[in-house]
Structure 1
């Protein structure tokens, strides 16, 4: 499952001796650590997650508390000292919210939406793709043709239409994101499960006989996880980007749930008037987060796919 190390250890031992006694997970971590770019990206992702989790302790202001907001502090530049007595290091937005606090809280919402939608899409797509591969016949043909038809449409267009029909709301947006992304997991799961279905150990399991649920859940699905993990890392970043796009277009989260996309949208109308910070800073954080997740996902893909070489 995991690729052998392509380099010898610094002490000159062969790869087989260097990896002797190590678990697959330990070898995976050691090989991941060899890529400095991926390690830096992982640290960036972990740092962003930590500041998002502890946002209430770090943020100087609660952007949801209307009692802490005043229009006298609205659209002030970075470094402005507000009426509350503390410095707004990244400036304020049109509602007088401290932009640093709004970004920290917006990160929490964006990460929650990405992880929630990505997890549901992973489970749904894995079940659909594995079921199609195991059952076969006309059921497989119908399911996969529907998946292929859905993949022919851009994900953002499909999510936009569904979100516009369902209306604004957290769960409405989750449904739109899952509907736009589960097909990628289903296609990947179908390919991996089809390869496992033709192997001898599956035929032996069916001849015992073992129950269908046991064969699928204990044999086929676990051996199909590596490519699904790779797709999951990419699709989480895609879900965060897609949520930001929909919120920017006005069909995502409601104004009471200001994600990074909503913050960018709120400041877009002030870009030409010189108040760039309202949109630029949330946009920079969003780009850094998505880029870091994609770099981590690329390294995981390289390690879990034996056909890819560094």
Structure 2
């Protein structure tokens, strides 16, 4: 393995953990079926013309008016729950990935920029970041969602604003360590512009811990979005995510129609746990102190 590329060595070490490989396979599979939802799902849950109230709240295995079997049952609107979960999974993943990417870009820019600038700018930016970290992310996301209103763009902005501080703190710590090294001092003595020093020399060496934080924060963003949608301040009812599907069936839990909430909840738990397991394995690989 000495002659292998860094990516090949990383994968060879990653697959030593069977749990992490299984978790990665689950994540890839769920992303795949979410992308192929229009082809895999037996019903379009957004097409109100094809919904029938006579199929509402039917148990798993029920054969509806459409002639196909509702393997996971139906919800209160008569939607096939399996189809609704696939489309809800698609929305949840989209929100988590986009919000995570935006939080990554904003947090890394602020963290590395503060470490490079130093002085009063560094103190000001990091005190703001520390102040935000003192509050729970769910509280900030809830307040921002209530202020911005419902909608995809509004929710993405709320999730990114609630999570960027984690990336900023990690990026600042890694960049501060790199900033004092000899190779950075040597590069700074050349006439290269500051942005190139940051982009070509400091940022690449800060990536390992940031990748770990990114995997965790994507899972957290999905959980936050589901929580906000469950509380009614997330996405609108026309774009139901897994959190809203759980909320739609919550009132029927005590009447025995458990499947309306339980199955979307299981899908959400499996997705979040799988992403966290992949993130834990990556953390163990990039941090030699945590290797077993």
TM-score between the two structures when normalised by the length of structure 1: 0.93
How far apart are residue 210 of structure 1 and its match?
A: 1.3
Q: How far is 1:282 from its partner?
A: 0.2
**Structure 2 residue 14 is matched with structure 1 residue 32:** yes
Distance 2:125 2:35 in 1: 39
**Corresponding position of 1:85:** 67
User: What does residue 282 of structure 1 align with?
Assistant: 264
Using the alignment, how far apart are the partners of 1:203 and 1:110 within structure 2? 44
Q: Shift in Å at residue 119 of structure 1?
A: 0.4
Pick aligned residue for 2:94 from 112, 117, 121: 112
1:132 to 2:134 alignment: no
Give the CA deviation at 1:307. 1.9
> Which of 21, 29, 35 is the matching residue for 1:53?
35
> Which residue is equivalent to 2:168?
186
CA deviation after TM superposition for structure 1 residue 209, in Å? 2.3
5+ residue gaps, structure 1:
1-18
Match of 2:228 among 232, 243, 246: 246
Equivalent residue number for residue 15 of structure 1: none
Distance 2:190 2:270 in 1: 52
Q: Report how many residues are paired.
A: 292
Q: Match of 1:34, SS? A: coil
Do structure 1's residue 272 and structure 2's residue 272 form an aligned pair?
Answer: no
Runs of 4+ in structure 1 over 3 Å off: none
> Is 2:71 the partner of 1:71?
no
What is the RMSD of the two structures over their aligned residues, measured on CA atoms?
Answer: 0.6
Partner residue in 2 for 1:166: 148
Partner of 1:4: none
User: Paired residue for 1:196, among 163, 178, 186?
Assistant: 178
2:291 alignment counterpart: 309
Q: What do the CA deviations read for 1:97-142 (whole angstroms, capped 9, x no partner)?
A: 0000000000000000000000000011000000000000011001
Give the unaligned 5+ runs of structure 2: none
Normalised to the residue count of structure 2, the TM-score between the two structures is: 0.99
Partner of 1:157: 139
Instruction: Return the alpha-carbon distance in structure 2 between the equivalents of residues 95 and 169 of structure 1.
Output: 22
Match of 1:147 among 112, 129, 132: 129
Q: Distance in 1 between matches of 2:7 and 2:154?
A: 38
How many Å separate the matches in 1 of 2:190 and 2:170?
28
Query: Could you say which residue in structure 1 is the equivalent of 2:245?
Result: 263
1:126-183 per-position Cα deviation (integer Å, ceiling 9, x unaligned):
0000000000001100100000000000000100000011111101100110011000
